Amino acid sequence: MKYSFANPWASLSLDAWSLSLEAANVIGMRMMKIAAGGAAGWTESRLMLSEKAEAGLALQVMALTGGLGATGPVAARRTLKHYGRKVRANRRRLSRG
């Protein structure tokens, strides 16, 4: 989402809040799947751990190679975008089945 605030941190705070709500929804869907148990629950828990490690490492590589930008607001925006793509992909996947 884009908001037109003079202060970039105001817009970022709303985007972070929005992402946190979406992430909480995904966490709930994942926990329901894991709590159901069986092979699907086991697969989901392993997928969750590997995705979190992969996303964190990818963000570190971006930071070390200058991919997050040179200013705080730009780095924060790109970080939210990076994690937002992962959260939305999981929401779509978990909503299907």
- The pTM of this model reads 0.87
Q: One-letter amino acid identity for 86?
A: K
pLDDT at position 6 over 90: no
Contact predicate 14/79, CB 8 Å: no
Structure tokens, 66: 């200058």
Please report the pLDDT score of residue 3 as a whole number. Answer: 58
For 42-79, what is each residue's pLDDT tens digit? 999 999 999 999 999 999 999 999 999 999 999 999 99
CA distance 91 to 80: 16
Domain ranges of the chain: 12-96
